[in-house]
């Protein structure tokens, strides 16, 4: 938490008095606090708690589970990039050493790394303390925030906000890594708190905020390329059919390729060497058809293609539309 307070100074006594108010007193119950001059971009704010948009996300303990997630760290550049960024700075991060060697090393410590000198490395290696854990967490959080700022086009002077961090997570397919509390805050939903003493009838079921975000940003179809799949190494590989129900749902929303009316069914390619006994073409090889055109195609495929055009051409049109609209990505 960051607050702006106006001190009352008693110069002869060497005292500075603050009147924080009841909403800020909890800050002083946590022990020591950091005091610094008010930055230029905050001088216009009144005394009291700094708005949430300017609160540093690195101090928010509720976001620690997101920052320390292995996939989030990898999306930010990985542990190797974290080590390189730590080596670009100087100074041992361990504050309690009586002597610090001028040469720095990187000591791995879950979930990231810590920059320490040779002397402290010999003393702290294979140790596990709360202070080292705090330093490692701090390095990871600052590393992820710095990476998100660069990827979003901001400089180091910009204060990253929670909605911006969520947008970065969406861009890098990290929506499923968002904690429930973080998602609820991003959507401005009240925190799901159940009193310790309550009746079961008073508990109102609510949709998880993470599922709301996942539903909004869920891709309809996502391609994965594996040029060395096991099937490519077999002489007679078993045919694996590509099934994408979400893509078929999108195909049904498109106009009929035969008459232009609203489609009723996603028709799979037939008569072109696709499918077989007990199977059919891949879901991506489908076209939207109304019920009338669909029946007409299955009754006489040759007559249907002479009247409306070939099925492969229709499929190419549908795939092109899907790629242009971002359905296939």
Q: Is residue 13 part of a domain?
A: yes
**Residue 308: domain span:** 240-325
Q: Residue 220: what pLDDT? A: 66
Q: Residue 288: what pLDDT? A: 93
Which residues are paired to 49 by β-bridges?
A: 3
Q: Is the pTM of this model over 0.75?
A: no
Whether residues 67 and 210 share a domain: the answer is yes
Question: Can the peptide bond before residue 18 be classed as cis, meaning omega within 30 degrees of 0?
Answer: no
Q: Residue 113: what pLDDT? A: 93
State the Cα–Cα distance between residues 127 and 139, nearest whole angstrom: 18
The interaxial angle of helices 209-217 and 162-171, nearest 10 deg, is: 50
Whether residues 33 and 167 share a domain: the answer is no
Model confidence at 198: pLDDT above 70 = no
Question: Each residue of 134-181: pLDDT tens digit?
Answer: 999 999 998 999 999 899 888 877 888 888 898 899 888 888 888 888
Question: Each residue of 176-189: pLDDT tens digit?
Answer: 888 888 888 888 88
Q: What is the mean pLDDT of residues 232-245?
A: 82
pLDDT band with cut points at 50, 70 and 90 for residue 23? confident
Whether residues 91 and 46 share a domain: the answer is no
- Our count of domains for the chain comes to 3
Whether residues 112 and 191 share a domain: the answer is yes
Q: Is residue 197 part of a domain?
A: yes
Whether residues 24 and 158 share a domain: the answer is no
Q: Is residue 223 part of a domain?
A: no
Q: Is residue 186 part of a domain?
A: yes
Q: Is residue 229 part of a domain?
A: no
Whether residues 27 and 152 share a domain: the answer is no
Could you tell me the two tokens for 265? Answer: 């069914």
**Residue 200, Cβ neighbours under 10 Å: how many?**
5
**Is there a contact between 124 and 132 (Cβ–Cβ < 8 Å)?**
yes
Q: Is residue 284 part of a domain?
A: yes
Whether residues 276 and 172 share a domain: the answer is no
Q: Residue 27: what pLDDT? A: 78
More confident residue, 286 or 200: 286
The number of residues in the chain equals 329
């Amino acid at each position: 938490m960051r607050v702006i307070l106006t001190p009352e100074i008693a110069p002869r006594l060497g005292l500075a008095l603050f009147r924080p108010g009841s909403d800020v007193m909890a800050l002083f119950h946590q022990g020591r606090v950091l005091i610094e001059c008010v930055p230029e971009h905050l001088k216009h704010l009144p005394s009291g708690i700094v708005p949430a948009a300017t609160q540093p996300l690195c101090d928010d303990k509720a976001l620690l589970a997101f920052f320390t997630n292995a996939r989030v760290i990898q999306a930010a550049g990985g542990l190797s990039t974290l080590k390189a960024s730590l080596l670009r700075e100087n100074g041992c991060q361990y504050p309690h050493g009586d002597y610090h060697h001028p040469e720095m090393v990187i000591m791995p410590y879950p979930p990231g790394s810590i920059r320490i000198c040779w002397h402290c490395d010999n003393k702290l290696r294979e140790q596990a303390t709360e202070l080292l854990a705090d330093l490692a967490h701090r390095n990871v959080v600052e590393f992820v925030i710095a990476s998100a700022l660069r990827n979003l086009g901001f400089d180091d002077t910009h204060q990253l906000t929670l909605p911006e961090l969520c947008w970065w997570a969406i861009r890098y397919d990290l929506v499923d890594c968002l904690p429930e509390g973080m998602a609820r805050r991003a959507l401005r939903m009240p925190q799901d708190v159940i009193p310790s003493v309550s009746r079961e009838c008073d508990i109102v079921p609510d949709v998880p905020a993470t599922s709301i975000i996942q539903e909004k940003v869920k891709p309809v179809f996502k391609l994965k390329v594996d040029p060395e799949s096991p099937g490519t190494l077999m002489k007679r590989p078993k045919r694996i059919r590509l099934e994408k129900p979400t893509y078929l749902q999108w195909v049904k929303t498109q106009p009929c390729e035969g008459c232009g009316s609203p489609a009723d069914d996603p028709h799979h390619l037939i008569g072109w060497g696709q499918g077989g006994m007990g199977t059919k073409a891949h879901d991506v090889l489908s076209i939207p058809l109304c019920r009338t055109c669909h029946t007409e195609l299955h009754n006489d495929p040759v007559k249907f293609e002479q009247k409306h055009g070939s099925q492969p051409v229709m499929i190419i049109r549908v795939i092109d539309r899907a790629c242009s609209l971002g359905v296939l990505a």
